[in-house]
Every structure is written in structure tokens, then in C-alpha cells.
Amino acid sequence: FQKNYFKTKGWTYIYIQVVFFRVDLRTQIK
């Protein structure tokens, strides 16, 4: 259970990083 929890947390962190990265790119283009 604990391993699965950390796995999900890791994927959530990666997803957030990707979203912020895309937002940053869009801001730089403007």
C-alpha cells in the first residue's frame, strides 16, 4: 500500500511539473 501511495504521489508530481512547464512556455511565447 505504501509503495503504491508513493508511486501515485510521484506521478502526480510529474503531472504538475508538466502542466506548469506548458503554462510557462505559453507565457514566454506571449
Residue 9, C-alpha cell as written in the block: 504521489
Residue by residue, DSSP assigns 1-30 as -HHHHHHHHHHHHHHHHHHHHHHHHHHHH-
18-22: list long-range contacts, CB under 8 Å, 24+ apart.
none
Confidence (pLDDT) at 30: 62
* pLDDT tens digits along 1-30: 567 766 778 888 889 999 998 888 788 766
Closest C-alpha among 11, 15, 19, 13 to residue 27: 19
